């Protein structure tokens, strides 16, 4: 399958490893990956903060760039959620037609391609944090977990209140910094008590926040994108 890759702006700039892993994984599975270099941002920051005019301009740009793609995959549930939940509300022409073809990575792998086992290997205890937008916006269900269960060497560990928000929430993290930090502290404590070596998620933004909190508290737990784990193979 020919897959057009959308890389969130912050992933492109700050966490290229997650996007690189997505490319390697899809190519390993025999798919052709294209990256349309005109792309920048889906408009989520503006759409969620009430800046509708800017959001609409970025949304229109996204639809112009990806409109003719068979399938667009993004290693980010919240960007996919923005395309699927906000573009129509913003009145973007062509959004309704494109939306169902824009998929989060686990949706593409498990939902579209029917592959639970992507042939990955990863040594370590992994706690999976289901991000709010993966769980309650685009509703990926247990697709990421089904993928992780099939990774050789990987020990999936539970932690309490896993489905509770980590406190990131985009501008919420700075506009309501104290509440955000309190939510983060609880998430970090739950992860530390779980015995995990790694926390994995579908969203680099939440991982930036959780990883930043783990690093601040001196925790050895690493924050990794789901794609980085799935791209791993036995050396």
Partner 1 sequence: MKRFPDAAREALRDETLQRNLAHATGTIRARRLSVVSEVGDWEALREAGRAIKERTLRGLDRYLVQLEGAVERAGGQVHWARDAAEANEIVIRIAQKARATKAVKVKSLLTDEIGLNEALAARSIDAVETDFAELILQLDRDKPSHILVPAIHRNRTEIRDLFRRTLRGARDVSDDPAELAEASRVHLRRRFLAAEMGISGANFLVAETGSVVVVESEGNGRMCTTLPPLLVTVAGIEKVVPTWGDLEVFLQLLPRSSTGERMNPYTSIWTGVTAGDGPSAFHLVLVDNGRTNVLADTVGREALACIRCSACLNVCPVYERAGGHAYGSVYPGPIGAVLTPQLRGVRHVKSLPYASSLCGACFDACPVKIDIPGLLVHLRGRVVDGSHGNAEAGAMRALGRMLSSRRRYERAQRVARLGRGGKGIAARLPGPLHDWTRARELPSVPRQTFREWWRAR
| Residues at the site binding partner 1, with contacts judged by CB under 8 A | 7, 9, 11-17, 19-20, 23, 35, 37-41, 43, 45-52, 54, 57-58, 61, 85-86, 89, 132-133, 135-137, 164-165, 167-185, 208-209, 211-213, 215-216
Task: Kindly state the smallest distance separating residue 52's Cβ from partner 1, in Å.
Answer: 5
d(CA 85, CA 115): 26
Give Dmax over CA atoms of the chain in angstroms: 49
Structure tokens at 79: 């960007």
Q: Which is nearer to partner 1, 41 or 224 (CB)?
A: 41
Q: Which is nearer to partner 1, 7 or 126 (CB)?
A: 7
Q: By the 8 A CB rule, do 82 and 118 touch?
A: no
Task: Kindly state the smallest distance separating residue 122's Cβ from partner 1, in Å.
Answer: 21
Task: Kindly state the smallest distance separating residue 134's Cβ from partner 1, in Å.
Answer: 11
Task: Kindly state the smallest distance separating residue 175's Cβ from partner 1, in Å.
Answer: 5
Q: Which is nearer to partner 1, 150 or 212 (CB)?
A: 212
Task: Kindly state the smallest distance separating residue 198's Cβ from partner 1, in Å.
Answer: 17
Q: Which is nearer to partner 1, 19 or 151 (CB)?
A: 19
Task: Kindly state the smallest distance separating residue 112's Cβ from partner 1, in Å.
Answer: 23
Q: Which is nearer to partner 1, 109 or 184 (CB)?
A: 184
Q: Which is nearer to partner 1, 73 or 151 (CB)?
A: 73
Helix/strand/coil (H/E/C) assignment for every residue in the chain: CEEEECCCHHHHHHCHHHHHHHHHHHHHCCCEEECCCCCCCCCHHHHHHCCHHHHHHHHHHHHHHHCCCCCEEECCHHHHHHHHHHCCCCCCCCHHHHHHHEEEHHHHHHHHCCCCCCCCEEEEEEEECCCHHHHHHCCCCCHHHHHHHCCEEEEEECCCCCCCCCCCCCCHHHHCHHHHHHHHHHHHHHHHHHCCCEEEECCHHHHHHHHHHHHHCCCCCEEEEHHHHHCCCCC
- Within 13 Å, how many C-alpha atoms sit on residue 6's CB side? 31
Task: Kindly state the smallest distance separating residue 167's Cβ from partner 1, in Å.
Answer: 6
Q: Which is nearer to partner 1, 108 or 137 (CB)?
A: 137
């Amino acid at each position: 399958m020919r897959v057009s890759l959308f890389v969130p702006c912050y992933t492109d700039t700050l966490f290229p490893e997650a996007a690189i892993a997505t490319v390697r994984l899809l190519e390993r599975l025999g798919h052709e990956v294209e990256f349309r270099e005109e792309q920048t941002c889906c408009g989520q920051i503006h759409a969620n903060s009430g800046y509708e005019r800017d959001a609409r301009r970025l949304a229109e740009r996204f639809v112009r760039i990806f409109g003719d793609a068979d399938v667009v995959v993004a290693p980010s549930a919240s960007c996919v959620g923005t395309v699927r939940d906000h573009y129509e509300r913003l009145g973007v022409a062509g959004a309704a037609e494109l939306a169902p073809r824009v998929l989060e990575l686990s949706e593409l792998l498990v939902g579209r391609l029917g592959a639970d086992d992507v042939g990955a290997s990863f040594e370590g205890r992994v706690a999976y944090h289901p991000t709010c937008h993966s769980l309650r916006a685009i509703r990926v269900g247990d697709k990421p977990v089904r993928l992780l269960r099939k990774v050789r060497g990987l020990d999936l560990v539970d932690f309490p209140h896993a489905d509770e928000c980590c406190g990131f929430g985009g501008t919420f993290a700075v506009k309501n910094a104290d509440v955000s930090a309190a939510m983060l502290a609880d998430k970090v404590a739950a992860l530390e008590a779980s015995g995990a070596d790694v926390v994995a998620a579908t969203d680099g933004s939440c991982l930036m926040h959780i990883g930043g909190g783990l690093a601040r508290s001196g925790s050895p737990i690493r924050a990794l994108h789901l794609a980085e784990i799935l791209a791993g193979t036995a050396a």
